[in-house]
Amino acid sequence: MYTNQRINALGNRKYLAFSLVFLPFVFWLSWYTYSGNSWTPSLPFSCRFQYAIEKREEIPEERKYVDHFRKDGSYLDHLLEIRLPRMNYSQPETMNPPRRDILVMTPWFAPIVWDGTFNIDILNQQFKQRNVRIGLTVFAIKKYVVFIQLFLETAEKFFMVGHKVNYYIMTDRPKDVPNVTLAEGRKVVVLEIQSYARWQDVSMRRMEMISLFAKEQFIQEVDFLVCVDVDMRFSDHVGVEILSDIFGTLHPAFYRGQRQQFTYERRPASQAYIAYIEGDFYYAGGFFGGTVDEVYKLTNQCHNAIMTDKANSIEALWHDESHLNKYFLNHKPTKILSPEYLWDNSMGVPEVLRKRRFVAVPKNHVQIRN
């Protein structure tokens, strides 16, 4: 009976004309009306409210007020206004995963970020609404200042475009930091630090410096820290898809390997010791990050382990990288970046690598390190 009614309706020309002309108009009108920013009915109020907070947050002394506001009950009501705008994108398909050639999730439910697994428009909306501020820390000690220019120029093209970014350049040669034109909402902060005679110490002391500045400065200025090598160039998109409480990156030389083959520190006397029957992945020392809280925990703990080793006259095989790997064994990262995010062209370009986002700049080892 229900079916008959439908057939009758469709057979009636008046109904058909009505449907063809009027219904698309109604649909168009409603889309047009709502497609701007949001479905939120009280949008003008909530926007002005949020704007006021953002402005105050930019003045360091006002931070206290903002923190108080966040604890205040009215902040909870403010949260109710936050939602995604309507968006057009292809549907995720339960029975048709975008990638079948690689692992996209760890057994502890941390996503592994590969090209094709994320929708950057959704993520950008989410992080924009949080007004996220990102700090990119990089060390350029002695001759490594020559890498800063290309690093910054390519970061402007590919790193967190459209978001707020502070570049924290830690160097013993502040005068050699080049002037690079930056987009709005982005700035370079030069932090003068001492140099160390041994390159192993230059590399390892990064943990100490990041933890010190996290406590003194970064916690006031940014939400997330991204800590990377400077002898690199960005060559494709690196955005908010990498952000999570604490994240590491699969080392380009070991992402296919067995745990026994990883170059973990194998001497039990070292704080970085990992047994042959342990370990999930081999993480690269040149790309990790997370919230300032989590990066403080990581760098502080790695620095302490390095100092304990030093007191015991032992130095881990791959220095800070060995300690990073030990930390991630006991504190699983909440997100993992594929080697797209730290590639070296001397490894070739395997089929599984659809993008090379952050790539090592070839260096003359003899010239740059002496």
Q: Which positions touch ligand 5GW (CB under 6 A)?
A: 139-142, 144, 199, 202-203, 229-231, 286, 369
Report the nearest approach of Mn ion to the CB of residue 229 (Å): 4
Q: What is the rounded distance in angstroms from the CA atom of residue 67 to the CA atom of residue 32?
A: 38
Instruction: In whole angstroms, give the CA distance from residue 340 to residue 236.
Output: 9
Between the alpha carbon of residue 168 and those of residues 153, 213, 250, 352, the distances in Å are: 15, 10, 24, 33
Give the residue from 273, 364, 367, 255 showing the smallest Cα distance to 317.
Answer: 273
Total of chain residues touching Mn ion, rule CB under 5 A: 2
Query: Which residues participate in the annotated binding site?
Result: 139-141, 144, 229-231, 251, 263, 321, 344
Which one of ligand 5GW, Mn ion, none is in contact with 237 (Cβ closer than 5 to 8 A by kind)? none
| Choice between 246 and 284, CB closer to ligand 5GW | 284
Task: Catalogue the active-site residues.
Answer: 321
From Mn ion, ligand 5GW, none, interface partner of 333 (C-beta below 5 to 8 A by class): none
Burial of 78 (0-12, 13-18, 19+ CB in 10 A): middle
Q: Does 115 bind Mn ion (CB under 5 A)?
A: no
Please tell me whether residue 231 binds Mn ion under the rule CB under 5 A.
yes
Question: Smaller CB distance to ligand 5GW: residue 148 or 353?
Answer: 148
Closer Cβ to Mn ion, 221 or 229, answer by number: 229
Describe the strand order of the beta sheet including 335-337 as a list of residue ranges: 112-113, 335-337, 246-249, 287-291, 224-228, 133-140, 164-171, 186-192
Is residue 169 within a helix (H) or strand (E), and if so which, with residue range? strand 164-171
* Least Cβ distance, residue 340 to ligand 5GW (angstroms): 17
266 interacts with, out of ligand 5GW, Mn ion, none, CB within 5 to 8 A per kind: none
229 binds Mn ion (CB under 5 A): yes
Nearer to ligand 5GW, 27 or 199 (CB): 199
At 49, phi and psi to the nearest 5?
-60, -50
Nearer to Mn ion by C-beta: 156 or 344? Answer: 344
**With binding defined as CB under 5 A, does residue 321 bind Mn ion?**
no
Binding residues for UDP-N-acetyl-alpha-D-galactosamine are 139-141, 144, 229-231
* Shortest distance, position 362 Cβ to Mn ion, whole Å: 11
Q: Coil, helix or strand for 9?
A: helix
Interatomic CA distance for residues 307 and 301, integer angstroms = 10
Rounded to whole angstroms, the Cα distance separating 211 from 206 reads: 8
Q: Which residues of the shown chain bind Mn ion in the complex (CB under 5 A)?
A: 229, 231
